[in-house]
Amino acid sequence: MNEVSKKPRAIWGSKIAFILAATGSAIGLGNIWRFPMMVGRYGGAVFVLVYVLAVALIGFTVMLAELTIGRHTQKNPVGAFERIKPGTAWKAIGYLGVVTAVAILSYYAVIAGWAIGYVFKTAGGAFRDLGGAEAAAASASRAFDSFVADPLLVLVLLMGMIGMTAHIVSRGVREGIERWSKILMPLLFVIVVILAVRALTLPGARAGVSFYLKPDFSKLSGTVILFAVGQAFFSLSLGLGTMLTYGSYIRKSDNLVSSAAWVSFSDFLIAFLAGIIIFPTLFAIPGIAPEEGPALVFKVLPLIFSKIPLGQMFGLLFFLLLILAALTSTISILEVPVAYLVDEKKWSRRRAAWLVGGLAFLLGVPSALSSGGSALFTRLKIQDRMDFAFGSVSLAVGALLIAVFTGYIWKAKNAAQEIRLGAPRFRLEKAWSLAIKFLAPAVILIILIFKILKG
Ligand code: PFF
């Protein structure tokens, strides 16, 4: 799977190998860090509800389209559109994906760096004694704020995260990583379930449960829908060609429909459970607001670790597994520009991985310093803005173009033919064709226009 440039092209060893890599890409900081942050900021349970619909109706639809384009063409995102519609501007979708990938990698790795820092802090006993109920939230907050404001530390952690990613992508030792994650991701799941159960049994957890699960429809707005749909793309790794690239290594005989369904469902499950940990804890131990933003989970998680036997061990394990989950995602992000440079520009894998990684690091510096490390970048909220521009808007634009391309340019019936190679019955054909031609483009277009009008 590592030498993308060699012909014949590598193919996943099995359907399971693909599913592991694709869920590895999907499950990451988007589930544990970004999803609770969005829920807290944009309306609680109403956001969750819109998110579920967005994943099932739009995310799944676009994922199936990406996988199908990838498998049909067996190419990187730029090459794929060029192969289906040669000599047209449609390959711009691929370029957009390449640029978006570098930008997302730059700030995503900053957050992953925070998780690395939290491994050391937890191991060092920083969260062992947070004090009584009132004091606990305050000291967890203070610990976070001073940690992320250390400019040198956050930059070193950013470099570490990007370095690991570039190393793995350049050497193509992905197989090793995937084998590890096969064992360790179920462990992450188990820990998440344990923490969720503990959070639910905290005295005072109820208020958090209703914030998270009892929709208040007066909070429904265009903004909520915009961010819920954006979060679906982010979490499912859609809109920049990651799933297209992974799809390009799938065997013709594999069932793309059930693969897409499985990846979407397991990704949703982890995000949903992350919310079950964060919100009951946040309401049971007051002091941190749901609207906290990027710091939210880093401030709330130590609270739950302090409320569970062997909390320090759980905390340590949790952050280690979170780093691994983030790593399987950063690998998939870096893979997009690297596959492009290797396939189309004939670069060596090594050169592509390290140069793009270096670029992402430079681009990540302002984000890393925007949580207190630099007064200017902090005031400009660089990281938040990067996440909005690339993690929400750019992915939505990419997904829109992919839907329009699949539905009208390549045509849904041609895509369906590719899908049927491994799923002869393809019972969802009618529904999927309608969704890719009408529902997905209409919804994405409306939210983008809404955003432009609202400024
Ligand atoms: N889906 C990843 C997560 O939820 O953490 C992030 C991500 C990976 C976004 C790959 C986009 C992408 F292409």
**47 Cα–ligand 1 center, Å:** 19
Q: What is the pLDDT of residues 134-190, one digit of tens each?
A: 789 999 999 999 999 999 999 999 999 999 999 999 887 566 667 777 778 888 899
- Report whether 325 contacts 185 (CB < 8 A): yes
Least confident range of 287-296, 306-315, 436-445:
306-315
User: Which position has the token pair 């297209």?
Assistant: 244
Amino acid at 6: K
- The rounded percent of the chain whose pLDDT value lies above 70 is 96
Q: What is the pLDDT of residues 197-249, one digit of tens each?
A: 999 999 999 999 999 999 999 999 999 999 999 999 999 999 999 999 999 88
Amino acid at 45: A
Ligand 1 atom closest to Cα of residue 28: 5
Better-scored residue on pLDDT, 175 or 112 = 112
Mean pLDDT of 5-22: 71
Burial annotation 154-192 (CB, 10 A radius, 16+ → b, else e): bbebbbbbbebbbebbbebebeebbeebeebbeebbebb
Name which residue sits closest to atom 12 of ligand 1, judged by CA.
Answer: 237
Q: What is the pLDDT of residues 304-350, one digit of tens each?
A: 999 888 999 999 999 999 999 999 999 999 999 999 999 899 999 99
Q: What is the pTM of this model?
A: 0.95
Q: What is the pLDDT of residues 238-271, one digit of tens each?
A: 999 999 999 988 999 999 999 999 999 999 999 9
- Give the residues surrounding ligand 1 with Cβ less than 6 Å away: 25-26, 28-31, 104, 234-235, 237, 240, 242, 329, 332-333
Name which residue sits closest to atom 11 of ligand 1, judged by CA.
Answer: 237
Name which residue sits closest to atom 7 of ligand 1, judged by CA.
Answer: 237
Mean pLDDT of 96-116: 98
**234 Cα–ligand 1 center, Å:** 5
Name which residue sits closest to atom 10 of ligand 1, judged by CA.
Answer: 237
User: Which position has the token pair 């013709």?
Assistant: 252
**188 Cα–ligand 1 center, Å:** 17
Pocket test for ligand 1, best of 114, 233, 235, 390 (most atoms within 8 A of CB): 235
- Report whether 385 contacts 216 (CB < 8 A): no
pLDDT in the model for residue 6: 44
- Report whether 229 contacts 54 (CB < 8 A): yes
| Helix-helix angle 296-305:133-148, to 10 degrees | 130
**388 Cα–ligand 1 center, Å:** 14
pLDDT in the model for residue 17: 78
Q: What is the largest CA-CA distance in the chain?
A: 66
Pocket test for ligand 1, best of 35, 268, 329 (most atoms within 8 A of CB): 329
Ligand 1 atom closest to Cα of residue 26: 1
**33 Cα–ligand 1 center, Å:** 12
- Across all residues in the chain, what is the average pLDDT? 93
Name which residue sits closest to atom 8 of ligand 1, judged by CA.
Answer: 237
**204 Cα–ligand 1 center, Å:** 33
**30 Cα–ligand 1 center, Å:** 6
Q: What is the pLDDT of residues 125-135, one digit of tens each?
A: 888 878 777 78
pLDDT in the model for residue 173: 58
| Helix-helix angle 311-345:151-171, to 10 degrees | 50
Number of folded domains that form the chain: 1
Range of the domain at 209: 3-454
CATH code for position 79: 1.20.1740
Q: Give the whole-angstrom CA distance, residue 113 versus residue 300.
A: 18
Position 2 pLDDT exceeds 80: no
Q: What is the DSSP string of 93-129?
A: HHHHHHHHHHHHHHHHHHHHHHHHHHHHHHHTTTTT-
Helix (H, G, I), strand (E, B) or coil at 80: helix
Pocket test for ligand 1, best of 333, 336, 395 (most atoms within 8 A of CB): 333
Report DSSP state, residue 237.
T
Structure tokens at 276: 């079950």
Ligand 1 atom closest to Cα of residue 243: 13
pLDDT in the model for residue 452: 82
